A and B are shown apart, each in its own frame.
Chain A
Amino acid sequence: MTVVTATKRSAQGAERADGGLRPSDRGAWFLVLPALIPILVLSVGPLLYGILLAFTDAQSGRTEPTEWIGGLNFQDLLHDTLFWESFRIGLLWAVGVSVPQFLLALGLALLLDQDLRLRWLARALAIIPWAMPEVVVGVMWRLVYNPDAGVLNETLRDLGLGDGRDWLSGLGTALPAVIVVGVWAGMPQTTVALLAGLQNTPRELHEAAAMDGAGAWRRFWTVTWPALRPVALAITALNLIWNFNSFALVYVLTSGGPGGRTRLPMLFAYEEAFGYGQFGYAAAMGCVMVAVISVLLALFLVGRLRGGDDA
């Protein structure tokens, strides 16, 4: 509450200050420049440069000058079945991670919002996946999945469910196995965002609904979900993007194997750029990835927002 009121007050203050300060605002430039220069040189600039590179035949370590080749990279990409296979895997991975991530995080957030004992422990443990270096998360799960020394196969053996298998190098099991790791690694952020959203839902409304005899399920759909929906949409959209762009986890777990079954587009483009030195071609891949992701995301958001109007 205090944060909100303070924000409102300072916002009014900001408008006043704005009116008074703008004419002589050389000071503001002085405050902004130290951040602006690195942003322009190392973020905005490279992004634009990257888009231009996609239309050239740039390669690493070549002596001849780089030339414009128009849309040739994109034409090649269109027929590059390996790339589209990798793209398909990337989409499977992004959706396969983001959806369970959201459902599990929602469950955990709802539990943490209750007055349960051991809540502090869950909060403390949720730090682990969030704070860990991605490389270590990958290493850790390699140990879990290890065919001989791993805890997963040993547990299966103890339960009499067969001898287990080599999860990360099986053609059928590799992608599901890395998806589980992705879900584990991203759950805490999503939980925290949803929990914050839950704590902003009006308690009184909840109690009133309970008085009227609404069951837990009904209370969730009529009171909690409408208040939570904007947060849920935002975090899911972000998760989709982040997961589609993920690299380190799968690089450590499988390096894209077996037989390319877990070769996410980022891994593919990385190999193309820094393994084979095809800078222009890899940049074109990046452009296609941005374009497709933006379109999918726009469709997802528009669809969700529409669905909300009907409800």
Chain B
Amino acid sequence: MRTSTGGRVGQYAALLGYLVFLAFPFLWLVSTAFKSPRELGSLHPTWIPRDPTLDNFRQAFDEQPLLRAAGNSLLAALGAALIAVLVATPLAYVMARHRTRLARAATGWVVVSQAFPLVLVIIPLFLVLKNLRLINSQAGLVMVYVVWALPFALWMLVGYVRAVPAELEEAAAVDGAGRLRTLVSVTAPLLAPGIVATGLFAFITAWNEFFFALVLLKTPEKQTLPVVLTHFIGAEGVADLGPLAAASFLATLPSLVVFAIIQRRITGGMMAGAVKS
């Protein structure tokens, strides 16, 4: 198929428009992070900071306990990712390979859970965790994040399991390998890349999460990075722009790096999960 030159020019113009729209807010964030307070206070801001400085980063760490918050976020995200993958993989295996009522109910839950309004879930969740004495605790938050990450994790993992030919497992069984042995030494290695991608996605989801952290963590020592970031914005909505931009930029880096690594697998996994058999 050939497209006319005029059509091509139009397509490139449109693509350029998209590139600008997608990139400019982030570039502005980066630019703001390196501007001096004096420059931020003056009218006519520029794209390139006139005299770039790291003061905002230093000040951001002075104003808010960013390191501790990052540690809290890291702990919650790592815990959530590990546990989510550990509990989701076996269930996804059953959902992909067996057509039991349970597997169908699990699939139904994955779909319906996308429509839960958080308000309806958060209040009872708050009460349940309070009774378990898990309010304002990392453990409680990790448990919530695990369940929160499960629908998408299951969705992706089911796709990955289906892509492993059942014949391989049957062949192993014929060769005399037990069920557990087959799962561990035949299925698991083939699933490993998918499991890692799913875990990393759960990591980003938890690292970025705000609402549950806001409601469930009360004391500043326990709070995660997104919650602490909002402390830069004062009661009247007045924010110290420089440090806010600097801290936000740093908080985003892990998500961007991890996401760049798994992007292909995520989009592939979404499709694989969507293929109905």
Contact = CB atoms under 8 A, between A and B. Distances in A.
Interface residues of A, number: 114
A134 B210 contact: yes
Report whether over half of chain A's contact residues are helix, strand or loop; otherwise say mixed. helix
Contacts of B174: none
Interface string A228-255: 0000000000100110110110011001
B252 A136 contact: yes
B125 A133 contact: no
Nearest to A193: B270
Nearest to B227: A135
A14 B166 contact: yes
B172 to A, nearest CB: 12
Contact of A38 (B98, B143, B164, B267): B143
B139 interface: no
Contacts of B143: 38, 42
A111 B15 contact: yes
Interface residues of B, number: 102
Nearest to A8: B277
A142 B234 CA distance: 13
B101 to A, nearest CB: 11
A128 B241 CA distance: 21
Interface string B45-84: 1010000000000000000000000000000000000000
A65 to B, nearest CB: 14
B121 A47 contact: yes
Contact of A143 (B29, B106, B256): B29
Contacts of B11: 111, 114, 116
A280 to B, nearest CB: 9
Contacts of A107: 14, 18
B162 interface: yes
15 contacts: A6-B164, A10-B96, A17-B166, A25-B98, A35-B88, A42-B147, A111-B15, A131-B208, A131-B255, A133-B251, A154-B44, A187-B22, A247-B210, A279-B123, A289-B117
Given A133-B252, A196-B274, A294-B115, 19 more contacts: A6-B162, A6-B163, A50-B121, A107-B18, A111-B14, A116-B12, A118-B12, A122-B19, A127-B263, A131-B204, A133-B229, A134-B210, A136-B226, A144-B25, A207-B1, A248-B211, A270-B119, A282-B119, A293-B117
